[in-house]
């Protein structure tokens, strides 16, 4: 049996009894008393408050306040949990505070040597997310709880044009984090069909008394992948526009590697790139971004995007002209 397994066995023995001698533990483990002493020392070094009572009727015991068995993690496992927590925080994970508390409890059980080693592996590791509209933490929590409970919800869902949100009744199948955004996947009663809702457009969630059962064969990952990659539609039926560019290899490579565009690419060659975007995004930062490439990139379609970039170029020429 591995040493970690033996340590856990000793721990569970001490938890299940009020007191045990080294001889009793050795008998249970079928090992020597000397080995038991080493196990007790190892438990103490890992943060377990094992108390030793000398004399007749003495032995080893755990204090009544000790209720949780520590887990024996390698340094790679410890740093993976801390690193994963940082990714979760930047993704807007809805239970980030309980996650911090959990990692805090884990770290409080470490020995001084383990803590120093963990800090060496985490001090030089950071996760930074590009700025984006964040979804309210409470909204995500209410949606996640409704998914788990199989409860239909009523949401107020904003429109792309910023007009008054409309009320939707949805059977929430799950939450998906994709490209720095959270999405609610569910059956929309208004459309009587499966829909993808951008969580940052949800203004208010109310759980109803209605229940539903998600099909056992349903896969969030497969549904979202198929819907985004096969569209011409995106979240909740918004129309996607096809953008086709031609240009120099270096410029096309930079565009294809852009964090926002790379998941939206539908076709790519050394000198040509095709991707899809919603209309609001195409009319927002894309014209200015493409203008920064100058003559290295030519817009093949749509004509409206070509017109917008040309108009921006004219405005710049007039502004900087004599």
Fold for the domain defined by 3-61:
Arc Repressor Mutant, subunit A (1.10.10)
**Between these two residues, 309 and 68, which has the higher pLDDT value?**
309
What residues have CB less than 8 Å from 65, skipping those under 6 apart?
none
Radius of gyration of the chain (CA): 29
Per-chain mean pLDDT for the chain: 85
Model's pTM, two decimal places?
0.62
Rounded Cα gap, residues 300 and 268, in angstroms: 14
Q: Give tens-digit pLDDT for 139-169.
A: 999 999 999 999 999 999 987 666 788 999 9
Burial of 39 (0-12, 13-18, 19+ CB in 10 A): buried
The CATH classification number of 240-320 equals 3.30.70
CATH number for the 138-225 domain, one of 2.30.30, 1.10.10, 3.40.1130, 2.30.29?
2.30.30
| Maximum separation of any 2 CA atoms in the chain, in Å | 101
Q: Give tens-digit pLDDT for 229-244.
A: 654 445 555 667 899 9
Domains of the chain, by residue range, sit at 3-61, 75-122, 138-225, 240-320
Quote the distance between the C-alpha of residue 21 and its chain's center: 47
* pLDDT at residue 133, as a whole number: 61
Q: Give tens-digit pLDDT for 48-85.
A: 888 888 877 779 988 876 655 455 677 888 899 999 99
Check whether the bond before 302 is cis (ω within 30° of 0). Answer: yes
What residues have CB less than 8 Å from 31, skipping those under 6 apart?
6
Q: Give tens-digit pLDDT for 196-230.
A: 998 989 989 999 999 999 999 999 999 988 877 65
What residues have CB less than 8 Å from 239, skipping those under 6 apart?
232, 233, 278, 279
């Amino acid at each position: 049996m591995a040493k970690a397994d033996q340590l856990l066995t000793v721990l569970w023995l001490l938890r299940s009894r009020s007191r045990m001698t080294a001889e009793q533990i050795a008998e249970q483990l079928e090992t020597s008393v000397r080995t038991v002493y080493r196990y007790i020392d190892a438990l103490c070094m890992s943060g377990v408050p094992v108390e030793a009572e000398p004399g007749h009727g003495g032995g080893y015991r755990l204090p009544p306040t000790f209720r949780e068995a520590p887990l024996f993690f390698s340094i790679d496992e410890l740093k993976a949990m801390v690193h994963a927590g940082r990714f979760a925080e930047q993704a807007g994970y809805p239970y980030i505070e309980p996650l911090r508390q959990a990692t805090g409890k884990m770290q409080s059980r470490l020995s001084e040597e383990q803590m120093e080693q963990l800090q060496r592996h985490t001090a030089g590791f950071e996760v930074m997310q590009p700025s984006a509209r964040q979804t309210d933490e409470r909204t995500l929590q209410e949606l996640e709880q409704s998914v788990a409970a199989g409860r239909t919800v009523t949401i107020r869902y904003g429109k792309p044009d910023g007009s008054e949100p409309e009320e939707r009744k949805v059977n929430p199948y799950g939450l998906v984090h994709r490209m720095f955004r959270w999405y609610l996947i569910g059956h929309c009663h208004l459309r009587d069909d499966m829909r993808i809702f951008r969580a940052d457009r949800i203004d208010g969630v109310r759980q109803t008394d209605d229940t539903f059962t998600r099909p056992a064969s349903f896969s969030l990952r497969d549904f979202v992948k198929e819907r985004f990659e096969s569209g011409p539609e995106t979240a909740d039926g918004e129309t996607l526009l096809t953008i086709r560019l031609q240009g120099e290899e270096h410029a096309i490579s930079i565009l294809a590697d852009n964090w926002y565009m790379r998941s939206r690419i539908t076709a790519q060659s050394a000198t040509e790139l095709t991707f899809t975007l919603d209309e609001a995004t195409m009319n927002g930062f894309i014209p200015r971004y493409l203008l920064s490439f100058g003559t290295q990139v030519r817009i093949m379609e749509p004509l409206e995007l070509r017109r917008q970039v040309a108009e921006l170029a004219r405005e710049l020429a007039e502004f900087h002209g004599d």
